Amino acid sequence: MNKKRGEWSNHLGFILAAAGSAVGLGNIWKFPGKIGANGGGLFLLIYIIVVAVIGLTIMLAELAIGRSTQKNAVGAFHQLNKNWTFAGVIGIITLFVILSYYSIVGGWIMKYIGVYLGGAHFSGTATQYQDFFVNFITKPIEPVLWGLLFLGLCIFIIIKGVSDGIEKISKILMPALFILLIGTAIRSMTLPGAMEGIQFMLHIDFSTFNTDMLVAAVGQAFFSLSVGMGILITYGSYVGKQENLFQSAVWICILDTIVAILAAFAIIPAVFVTMGADGLGMGGGFAFMALPNVFASIPGGIIFGAVFFILLFLAALTSAISILESIIAFMSEEFHITRKKAVAWLFVPLTLLSVGYSLSQLETRGINLPWFDMRNGLQMLPMNAVMEKFTDNLMIPLGALCFCIFVGWVWGVKPAIYEIENEGALRFPLRKIWSFSIRYLAPIAILAILYFTIFKGVI
Ligand code: PHE
C-alpha cells in the first residue's frame, strides 16, 4: 500500500489490515477502563448496539468514499465536493492528537515487554503492581523516551515503505491475540473471587443509565473501530473493486468488538479480585495494573505475560501506523511533498504534544502542575485527560457527523450504494436500512452526543 496506489493482496488481507487498525490500545487499554467507569453490563450493551448500528453505518460510508475516489481523506472530499474538504481536515487534526498520546501508551507497552522479559514483574502483590505502574508513568523522562521510541518505530516502518508488512503481521497477530486473550480471560474469570467481576460485566441495570455513559459508548466505539477520522477512507482507497465492502465492514466490526469484550473479561474480574469494586475508580491503567496478577497465577505466567505484551505492542503498532499513514498520505498528496518531508514537519509538534501528555500524568500522584491544566467546560483538568476527552467525545463524533451528512445528503446515498454494490455487480441487502441510518439515525444520535458533550460538560 505505497507508491502508486497499491491494493490489498486479497480479501482476507484487507479485512485483517483494517482490523489491524481497529484492534489496538483502544480495545485493551481504554475499553476495560470505560466499562469500569460506566457501570458494567448496561454500558456493554449500549456499546454493542452503537457498534452494530452507528459504527457499521459510518464504516461503510467511509469505505465507499475511499474506494470510489481512490484518495486520502482530505483529497476524497476535495474531489467529491470542494466545500466539504474541511470534513477530511477535522479527521486529520483528530488523528494528530490521538497519535501523540497513542505513542506514549505504546511506549508503556514497550516498557512492560522489557519488564517481563527481564523476569522482574512476577511475584509482587497487587499493590506493588499498581505502584510500579503509577511510578513509571509519572516519571518525567523515561516514559517520554519510550514513547519516542515507539513513534520512531512507526516512522521507520512508514518511511521504509514496508507497510506491506502490516498485512503480514496482522495475519499472525490476530489469531495469536485471540488465543492469548481467551486464555487470559479464562484464567481471570476462574480466580477466586472473580464472580463479582463477571456479574458486574453481565448485570444490566437500566436504572444506572445516564448520558455520560452514552457519550462514552459512542466515543469509545468510534475510536475503537477507527471510524470518524477518515482512516477507513484511506484504507478503502486501497480496496479492490471486486471486494464486498459490506461484508468486510461487518467482519471488521465483529473482530474488533470480540477483542474488546475478551479484553474486558480478562481484566475486569482481575480488578475485582485484587482491588474490589473500589478498583474500578482507578480508570485507565487496568491492563498494566490488574493483568500482572492474572499472569502471576498462571504456571509459566512470566512467558505468558511477555508474549501478551509483545502481541499488544504489535496491535498498537499496526493501529499507530494506520494513523501515521493517513496523516502522511494526506500531507504528501495534498501538499506535494515527499513522505520524508511530511514526517519532518510532523515530528516536532507531535513530540511536544506527547511530552505534555506524559508529563501531565504526574497529576495522578497528586502533584499539581498548573501549566499543564486545561479548562474543560467548567473544570480544570490535567492535559492528558483533556486530550482524550477532546478526541473521543468531541472531535471523533464531529468528524463522524460530517461524514454522515456528507454521504447522506451531499454526495448522496445513490452513488454510495452504487459503490457498495460494486457498480451493480452485487446486491447490498440492507440498502434501505443503511440509507435511513446514514441520513437520519446516525446523524441525530451523534448530534445528541455532541449536545451532551458541549452543553452538559462531558468535555
Ligand atoms: N482503533 C484503534 C484502537 O482501538 C486506534 C485508532 C484510533 C486507530 C484512530 C486509528 C485511528 O486502538
pLDDT of res. 57:
98
Ligand 1 centre to CA of 340 (Å) is 23
Q: What ipTM describes this predicted complex?
A: 0.98
Judge contact between 57 and 437, C-beta under 8 A.
Answer: yes
Helix axes 142-159, 85-117, angle to 10 degrees: 120
Domain spans in the chain, listed from the N-terminal domain onward: 11-455
Q: What is the pLDDT of residue 456?
A: 73
Pocket test for ligand 1, best of 30, 223, 255, 326 (most atoms within 8 A of CB): 223
Question: Percent helix, strand, coil in the chain (nearest 5)?
Answer: 80, 0, 20
pLDDT bin (cut points 50, 70, 90) of residue 3 is: very low
User: Is CATH 1.20.1740 correct for 11-455?
Assistant: yes
378 pLDDT tier (thresholds 50, 70, 90):
low
pLDDT of residue 370: 61
pLDDT cut 70: percent of the chain above it: 92
Going from the Cα of 389 to the center of ligand 1, the distance in angstroms, rounded, reads 15
Ligand 1 centroid from CA 427, angstroms: 30
Please give the pLDDT value at position 281. Answer: 73
Q: What is the pLDDT of residues 416-456, one digit of tens each?
A: 999 999 998 999 999 999 999 999 999 999 999 999 888 87
In this prediction, residue 247 carries a pLDDT of 95
Best of 23, 101, 224, 326 to mutate for ligand 1, by most ligand atoms within 8 A of CB? Answer: 224
Helices (runs of H) and strands (runs of E) counted in the chain? 23, 2
Confidence of residue 392 (pLDDT cuts 50, 70, 90): very high
Ligand 1 atom at minimum distance from 27 CA: 4
Give 169-212 pLDDT, tens digit per residue.
Answer: 777 888 899 999 999 999 999 999 899 999 999 999 999 899 98
The residue with greater pLDDT, 2 or 366, is: 366
Say whether pLDDT at 459 is over 60: no
Measured from the CB, is residue 322 less than 6 Å from ligand 1?
yes
Ligand 1 pocket check for 26: Cβ under 6 Å: yes
Q: What is the DSSP letter of 173?
A: H
Average pLDDT over residues 39-48: 95
Q: What is the DSSP letter of 51?
A: I
Q: What is the mean pLDDT of residues 26-48?
A: 94
Using alpha carbons, select from 252, 313, 262, 292 the residue that is nearest to residue 24.
Answer: 313
pLDDT of residue 373 exceeding 70, the answer is no
The CA–CA distances, whole Å, from 281 to 37, 220, 275, 276, 287 equal 6, 18, 10, 10, 14
Mutation pick for ligand 1 pocket among 105, 322, 330, 387 (CB with most ligand atoms within 8 Å):
322
- Ligand 1 and 223: CB distance under 6 A: yes
- Average pLDDT (29-41) is 92
- CB of 319 within 6 A of ligand 1: the answer is yes
Please work out whether the CB of residue 66 comes within 6 Å of at least one atom of ligand 1.
Answer: no
